[in-house]
Structure 1
Amino acid sequence: MYSQTPADWRETNRKRWDERVPIHLASDFYDVAAFRAGEDALRDFERAEVGDVRGRSLLHLQCHIGLDTLSWARHGASRVVGLDFSETAVDAAREFAAELGLGPERAAFVTADVYDAAQAVPDSAYDIVYTGVGALCWLPDIQRWAETAACLVAPGGFLYLAEFHPLTDILDDATGSHLEHDYFAREAWVEEDPHGYVDTTTPTVHNRSVEWQHPIGEVVSALAAAGLRIDFLHEHDMTLFPRFGALEIRDGAYRFPKDRPRVPLMYSLKASKPS
């Protein structure tokens, strides 16, 4: 339900994420065993769009348990830094880094709110600032996010964002074919959900969440206002989990059946800072 932003929104969300870290570590969705065996946690389109990261520094905002962050290190990034507001998630990320033999000079993880990133991370600027899927919905102020991220991009570097398309937030969960919510709503979305995108069976205590939807125009405009140049905005007809009951796995991702008109389910963008 839409409502005014509750004063405890940050702590509410932190408790939810802290509780779900061990659930995620044990889940097939994150497949920690495959990651430990060398499998890449990144999506094919992300690797193609970001390009060669060898010898470049990378900051991952809202990194969760660090699998994406450390995958960039495996691809040759000279230094990766992950930041997340869940200390439980950051502890898990540090353990993974240690298992891979990556010391803090190659892979560092910081517990902090994303809006405090400029003061919390060890370096003042990075060649690449990366934000992975499912991050922006937890932030109430996209302008402040864009300003924070942009200030951490080194001259000549870029921000890369991969996200779920905001169109998916307004469609019905069963079929993804009917409009049920307001695309331009700015109020907080507050709900009690004992499940999530990974596990629907494990009992949990902290089930309340506070989220926001951010239309693509708002995101692009915020980044441009923060001084970045938009290099591209791509929309994708696939997603990472069965958000809608009508989705099917095809070509390694969840998509609508071939006999249905396609709609964008994810998007990605790159925004550069002039040298």
Structure 2
Amino acid sequence: MHARRAAPDDWPEPEDSDDLDAFRHGQDTIREIEASGVGDVTGRTLLHLRCRSGLDTLSWARQGARHVVGLDSSEAAVEAARELAADLGLGPDRAAFVTAPLYDAAQAVPDPAYDVVHTGAGTLSRLPDLRRWAETAAALVAPGGILHLTEFHPLTGLLDDEMGARIVRDHFSRDPFDDTPDSHPDFDTQAVRHPMGEVVTAVAEAGLRVDFLHEHDITRFQRFGSLEPRRPGPRRPADRPLIPLLYSLRATRL
């Protein structure tokens, strides 16, 4: 059994040299929501769709995964991930990284299927074709394997910046909630909200059995001014009603 290491208070990947040094010395980035949702990865293969610079992907390797693969459409992110893997002494037999659009993952990754396929928070909001994402991810799950997802709760796209009581958008609207285009190659569209019902339906229609859908009152970073930086993640003040900020989903291929 590989013990989980402590992670920093916030979820965004380390950006400065001090944070990267901490990661190199054993500070993994996998949080409890993901660790408990995925379960023990010892001896398993894992595919991380949209791996960014590879910190979460390499954390899964250090927690015992037999072989991890990270995919991202940004060549710069993939090169950074490869360099970090080499620094950690993890060769391609333990940790491989490929550059490709997420929708083309099946043609780009080295293996036809994986025990765990994971997509992290912040991905679906920039993927307008939810059904295509689900079909792509599901096709890469091995029999008996799982698809795991963490994502920002769609409710957070309806609230004002200070997390007040005022609802500012229609829950059923498909209008973009963020007018700022993302520079990431996969995400050249405006951010869109995918209600959780659509996510669950897309996963189920892709041929997987949904095991759970959990809502969480913490988030990845200081997304709203009224959140407090607390463990295991920023959340609303203790004297205010809690609301869901993240959700996680797991589905199995039978």
TM-score (norm 2): 0.88
Which position in structure 2 is the counterpart of 1:156? 144
Shift of residue 189 of structure 1? 4.7
In the alignment, which residue of structure 2 is the partner of 1:219? 199
Secondary structure class of the residue paired with 1:211? coil
- Root-mean-square deviation (CA, aligned residues, Å) is 1.9
CA distance in 1: counterparts of 2:209 and 2:47, whole angstroms: 19
**1-structure distance, mates of 2:118, 2:230:** 27
* 1:241 shift after superposition: 1.1
- Identify the match of residue 216 of structure 2 among 232, 236, 239: 236
Query: Which residue matches 2:251?
Result: 271
Q: Which amino acid aligns with 1:249?
A: P
Instruction: State the one-letter code of the partner of 1:25.
Output: E
The AA in structure 2 aligned to 1:117 is A
- 1:170-194 deviation digits (Å, cap 9, x = unpaired): 1101234321112222244552489
What fraction of aligned residue pairs are identical, expressed as a percent?
A: 61
Alpha-carbon distance between aligned partners in 2 of 1:190 and 1:246, rounded to the nearest angstrom:
20
Match of 1:201 in 2: none
Q: Are 1:260 and 2:248 matched, yes or no?
A: no
Corresponding residue for residue 15 of structure 2: 25
1:46 to 2:27 alignment: no
CA distance in 1: counterparts of 2:96 and 2:198, whole angstroms: 31
2:230 pairs with one of 245, 250, 257: 250
Give 1:16's aligned residue: none
> Which ranges in structure 2 are unaligned for 5 or more consecutive residues?
1-12, 183-187
Paired residues of 2:157 and 2:177 also in contact (CA < 8 A): no
Q: 1:96 is paired with a residue of what secondary structure?
A: helix
Unmatched tracts of structure 1, length 5 or more: 1-22, 195-207
State the distance in 1 between where 2:94 and 2:232 align. Answer: 31
CA shift at 1:113, angstroms? Answer: 0.6
Q: Where do 1:90-169 residues align within 5 Å?
A: 90-169=78-157
| Cα-to-partner distance string for 1:112-151 (whole Å, 9 max, x where unaligned) | 1100001111111000001111111110100000000000
Residues 252 and 158 of structure 1, relative CA distance in 2, 3 Å threshold:
closer
Hey, what's the Cα distance between the residues in 2 that align with 1:210 and 1:129?
A: 25
How many residue pairs match? The answer is 237
Q: Which has the higher strand share?
A: 1
Deviation at 1:26, TM superposition (A): 2.5
Q: Is residue 191–residue 209 contact of structure 1 (8 Å, CA) maintained in 2? A: no
Judge conservation of contact 2:218–2:232 (CA < 8 Å) in 1: no
Is the deviation greater in 141-150 or in 131-140?
131-140
2:222 corresponds to which letter in structure 1? P
Shift of 1:210: 2.1
Q: Name 2:61's counterpart in structure 1.
A: 73
Mapped partners of 2:116, 2:169: distance in 1: 34
Distance 1:103 1:240 in 2: 29
Runs of 4+ in 1 over 4 A off after TM superposition: none
